[in-house]
Structure 1
Amino acid sequence: MKNPHHYTISTWQKAKPIALGLLLCSSLSFAQSGKPVIDAIVKESTNNSQLEKLAHELFDKIGPRLVGTPQMKTANDWAVAKYKSWGIDARNEKWGQWRGWERGVTHIDMISPRVRSLEGTMLAWSPGTGKKTVTADVILLPEVADSLAFVKWLPSVKGKFVMVSANQVTGRPAENLKEFAFKETIDKFKADQAAINLAWAKRVKATGHTAKTLAVALENAGAVGVVTNYWSAGFGVDKIFGANTKKVPSVDISLEDYTLLYRLIENGTTPKISLHCESKDMGVVPTFNTIAEIKGSEKPDEYVILSAHFDSWDAASGATDNGTGTLTMMEAMRILKLVYPNPKRTILVGHWGSEEQGLNGSKSFVEDHPEIVKNLQALFNQDNGTGRVVNISGQGFADSKNFIPRWLAPVPDTIKNRIKTSFPGSPSAGGSDNASFVMAGAPGISLGSLGWAYGNYTWHTNRDTYDKVVFEEVRNNAMLAAMLAYMASEDPQKTSTEKAEGIRWPGFVKPNRGEEFKK
Structure 2
Amino acid sequence: MKKISCSLMVAALLSTGYAFAQKNDAVIDGIVKEATENSQLEKLAHELMDVVGPRLVGSPQMQQANDWAIAKYKGWNISAKNEKWGEWRGWERGASHIDMVAPRVKSLEGMQLAWSPGTGGKTVTAEVVIIPDLADSLAFQKWLPSVKGKFVMISMNQPTGRPDYNWKEFATEESFEKMKKNRDLQTEAWTKRIAKTGLNGRTLPGALEKAGAAGIVMSYWSKGFGANKIFGANTKKIPTVDISLEDYGLLYRLAESGNTPKISVKADSKELGMVPTFNTIAEIKGSEKPDEYVILSAHFDSWDGGTGATDNGTGTIVMMEAMRILKKIYPNPKRTILVGHWGSEEQGLNGSRAFVEDHPEIVNNIQAVFNQDNGTGRVVNMAGQGFLNSYEYLGRWLSKVPDGIRSQIETKFPGAPGAGGSDFASFVAAGAPAFSLSSLNWSYGTYTWHTNRDTYDKIVFDDVRSNAILAAILAYQASEDPAKTSREKSILPLNSKGEPGVWPQPQKATRKGGAN
TM-score, length of structure 2 as denominator length? 0.97
SS, match of residue 233 in structure 1: strand
The amino acid across from 1:156 in the alignment is S
The amino acid across from 2:8 in the alignment is T
Spell out the pairing of 1:339-488 with structure 2 (5 A cutoff): 339-488=329-478
Instruction: For 1:207 and 1:490, locate their aligned partners in 2 and report how far apart those are by CA, in whole Å.
Output: 62
- 1:346-389 deviations in whole A, cap 9, x for unaligned? 00000000000000000000000011111000000000000000
Out of 111, 114, 135, which is 2:125 matched to?
Answer: 135
Instruction: For 1:383 and 1:240, locate their aligned partners in 2 and report how far apart those are by CA, in whole Å.
Output: 18
How big is the shift at 1:508?
Answer: 1.6
The amino acid across from 1:514 in the alignment is K
Aligned length: 508
- In structure 2, what is the equivalent of residue 334 of structure 1? 324
Spell out the pairing of 1:64-75 with structure 2 (5 A cutoff): 64-75=54-65
Out of 253, 265, 286, which is 1:275 matched to?
Answer: 265
Instruction: For 1:477 and 1:165, locate their aligned partners in 2 and report how far apart those are by CA, in whole Å.
Output: 39
- In structure 2, what is the equivalent of residue 287 of structure 1? 277
- In structure 1, what is the equivalent of residue 313 of structure 2? 323
How big is the shift at 1:515?
Answer: 5.7
Determine if contact 1:5/1:401 at 8 Å carries over to the other structure: no
Determine if contact 2:89/2:513 at 8 Å carries over to the other structure: no
- 1:139-179 deviations in whole A, cap 9, x for unaligned? 00011111111111111000000000011110001211111
- In structure 1, what is the equivalent of residue 101 of structure 2? 111
How big is the shift at 1:410?
Answer: 1.2
- In structure 2, what is the equivalent of residue 10 of structure 1? 7
Determine if contact 1:295/1:347 at 8 Å carries over to the other structure: yes
Runs of at least 5 residues in structure 1 that lack an aligned partner in the other structure: none
Instruction: For 2:175 and 2:31, locate their aligned partners in 1 and report how far apart those are by CA, in whole Å.
Output: 52
Determine if contact 2:294/2:475 at 8 Å carries over to the other structure: yes
The amino acid across from 2:288 in the alignment is E
Deviates more, 1:125-134 or 1:25-34: 25-34
Q: Residues 90 and 162 from structure 1, CA distance in 2 versus in 1: closer, same or farther, beyond 3 angstroms? A: same
- In structure 1, what is the equivalent of residue 142 of structure 2? 152
- In structure 2, what is the equivalent of residue 77 of structure 1? 67
Instruction: For 2:37 and 2:487, locate their aligned partners in 1 and report how far apart those are by CA, in whole Å.
Output: 38
**1:310 partnered with 2:300:** yes
Q: Residues 28 and 202 from structure 1, CA distance in 2 versus in 1: closer, same or farther, beyond 3 angstroms? A: same
SS, match of residue 188 in structure 2: helix
Determine if contact 1:32/1:410 at 8 Å carries over to the other structure: no
Q: Residues 515 and 265 from structure 1, CA distance in 2 versus in 1: closer, same or farther, beyond 3 angstroms? A: closer
SS, match of residue 19 in structure 2: helix
Determine if contact 1:292/1:349 at 8 Å carries over to the other structure: yes
Root mean square deviation of aligned Cα: 1.2
Runs of at least 5 residues in structure 2 that lack an aligned partner in the other structure: 494-500
Out of 158, 161, 168, which is 1:171 matched to?
Answer: 161
Instruction: For 1:208 and 1:485, locate their aligned partners in 2 and report how far apart those are by CA, in whole Å.
Output: 53
- 1:316-372 deviations in whole A, cap 9, x for unaligned? 110000000000000000000000000000000000000000000000000000111
SS, match of residue 212 in structure 1: coil
